[in-house]
Structure 1
Amino acid sequence: MAREVGSSSMPHLTAFPEALGTGIIINTAKPVGSGLRARMGHLIEAYESTLSRFRDDSIPAAMAESDRGGSFDFPEYCQGLFDLYDCLYLATGGALDPAVGADLVRLGYGRDMTFRMSADAVDHLGRIRGRATWGDDVERVGTTLRTTGSVQLDFGALGKGYLVDLLAGILEHAQGTYRVGDYLIDAGGDMRIHAPKAVSIAMEDPDDLTKAVGLVSMVSGSLCASAPSRRRWTAPRKDGAAGGLMVLHHIVNAIDGWPVRRVEATWVVVGRDGNDGEQGAGASICNQGQCSPERSGRDWTPDRVPRKGQNPGKGKDGRLADLYPTALADGLSTALFLVDANDLAEHFSFACATIDDNRRAVVSRGFPGTIFTG
C-alpha cells in the first residue's frame, strides 16, 4: 500500500515485473550487472516454485494434495521464514497461521481464482471447526515439515517480505565490480531501504488507491503495508439477511477462518538505525492521542523452534529482526489486523500506523511519518 515518491540518489532501475504477482522494482546507486541480475532472477523463480500455493509444482501444492501427509523438505533458506512463523503464531495465539490456506480456498481464493465461496465453508472455516494448524498438525525439524494429513499452507503473510530480505542479502554481499551501493527494493509495498538520504513514500488510502493518506520518510530500514483493498470479492450471505451479499478478502483470522473487519490498513517499520531517527523499543502505541507506557519489546530468535506453548528464547545467531527485517514487518502488518499492537509490542520492536473501519488513525511513537486522516 506504500508508493515510493522519490529516490533520485539511486537512479539505476532493475525490475522483475512478474515476480510474486505484484512485481519487484529495485533502485540502486550503481548499475546491477547482468550476472547479479541473473542470480536474483534465479532466486525469485526458485522461491516461487518452492513456496507459492498458486503453483502446481510447489511444495505447498504437494502438501495440500497428500491426504496421508508425509515429509516435505524445503530449501535451507526457509529456516528463518519458518522461525518467524513460529514466533508470530505464538504471539497472536494462533490467529496468524500459515495453515490458513484451507480457509482461503473455501472462501474462493484458491489456485483456480474462482472467488466463489464453497457451499460447506461455514461448517469448516477456522481452527475452531477442526482445520489443521501450524502448531498442532505440522511437525518441523529444521526446514523439513512433517504432516499426517493434508495441510494447505499459505505463506503470504511473510512471503514477500522474506524474499525482499533474501534479495537484499544478494546485493549487500556482492563484491568488487558487482557492488551496487545504496538500494531500495519495493515488492508491491514491501520495502527495504538503504539510502544516502531520506526517501519519501506515500501511504495509499485503502478506500481510494489513487490518493494518499500520509507520508513516510526513511533513510534505512524496512516498511511494509497491508490492506484488503486490492483483493476483495463478494459471496451470498448465509444468514438470509437483507442485502444478499457480503464482502470477503484475503486477510483472515485463522481461529474462526473469517476475513477481519475492524482494521482498514496497517503500516509497520522495522530496523531503522540511529542515523534515521529513533524507532524505540517495543513500539509504544498511541490511542486517541494518548500514548501507553513504554513496553520492553524484544525480538524472538529461538535456539530451538518454539512449539505448542513453549517460550521462545534469544538465539545464538542474532535476532530475527536483524536478519529479516522486511519479513518481520510484513508479518506484523498482518498481525495488526488480528491482535492489539501493544500485545505485539511486548515481543517485537517496531513502529506502526493503522487506520480502522471508522477511518480513525492510530500512530505509534517512533513511526517516521504522518497520517493526514483520522
Structure 2
Amino acid sequence: MATEVLVPVLGESITEATVGEWLKQPGDKVAADEPIASLETDKVSVEVPSPVAGVMGEHAVKVGDTVQVGALLATVDAGGAATAAPTPAPQPAVTETPAAAPASAAAALSPSVRRAVLEHGVDPSTVTGTGKDGRLTKEDVAAAASSKPAAAAAPAPAATPAAAPSAGGRKEERVKMTRLRQTIARRLKEAQNTAAMLTTFNDVDMSAVIAARAKYKDLFEKKHGVRLGFMGFFVKAATMALKDVPAVNASIEGDEIVYHDYADISVAVSAPNGLVVPVIRDAQNLSVAGIEKTIGDFGKRAKDGTLKMDEMKGGTFTISNGGVFGSLMSTPIINPPQSAVLGLHRIEERPVVVDGQIVVRPMMYLAVSYDHRLIDGREAVTFLVALKNAIEDPTRILIDL
C-alpha cells in the first residue's frame, strides 16, 4: 500500500519551500522517520522524514521545484521492500550501467555538490560520500579529483564538449538562486529602501580581552565545556550598552516606536547554504559562558542543517562578525524590523598613541549601522562608545558599569 509523503508545516507564515535534495531514490529501502528529502525554506533547510517503513516510490516533484505546504512530494510503499528492488535487475541493463549510474547519482546531489562535480569532471557514482547518511560533499568531490591519476583525465573530454565550444576555454554556468539566497537578497534590499540607514565607526583596543582570554581560556573550557571566544564579551557588552541606549534596541511598527526591555541578540552564523541568523534569547540574563555555549550550539547545528525555524525568528539587535573572514572594515546592513546592527572586524596590530607615546596595540574597527528615522547620531555614538569602554576594560562587564 502506497503512503503519500506531503510537504509538512514549515513554520508560521511560511507557505512554500524549494526541493533542495532527494535523499532517497525510487526503489531505495526506507525506515520509518528516515529523511527522504531536504526542503529549502526562507531561512533553513528542513529534512522530510518518511511516515512509514518500506520502499521509496516515485518522486512527485524535481529538485529545484517550488512546493506548497500540504503538496504531494512522493510516495512510500509500506512493507514493499522486496517489490521495488527487482525492477532494475534485468541483465540487458548491464551495458547501460556506466551512463545510468552517474545520472541517478547526480539527481541526489545538492546544487553546491553538483557544481563541484561539473568543475572537477568527477563521476559521482565512483566517489564514496562522507556526509550524513553517506551523502556526497564538496570535500569528497575535491578529494576524488585530486587523487585521480593523470591517465584518468582522458575520458573527461567525452562529457565536456558541450561545455567547451570556445577555443579560449571560457565557460558560463547558470545556477538557480536558492530560496535562502533569494530571501536574503529581498530583505537586504527592503532594508535599504525603507530605513534611513547610516553607519558610524570607532575602534577598540583588544589588549585587555586578549589578555583575559589567554589567562583563563583553559580553565574556562575545563569548567564550561566550551571555548572562550571574543563573541561572548561583545554580546554581553552589547546588552549593557543597549540598556543604556534603548533606542538602539527598539523598532518601528507603523507610526509607533516599540521599545524592548530585553535583548534578543541575532548572531550571524555560517551555514552550508549561506549565513543564517539565530537569536540568543534574553542575552542580558546570560553569563559570558552561557552566551558562548549558545553560540557554539548554533554554529554546530547550522552546519548540520538542524536549526529550527523558531530559533531564527525575532531578535532586537544583530551582531555580525566579518572579521573571521578577514574583513578590515564594512558597513553592515540592518536586519528588519531591527533598527541597528553591529559589525565586528579583524584584529590587527596598529600604532596608536597612549599617554603621549606611540605603541603597538591589537586594534579592531567597530561599525554600527542604524536607522536614522529612530536613532539619532548622538545615540548611535553613545552606544558604540559604551561598547568600546566595556571591551577595553572587561571589569565593567563584571560590575555592570
Global fold match (TM > 0.5): no
> What's the TM-score once normalised by structure 2's chain length?
0.24
For the pair shown, which has the larger CA radius of gyration, 1 or 2? Answer: 2
Q: Which has the higher helix share?
A: 2
Higher RCO (CA < 8 A, seq sep 6+): 1
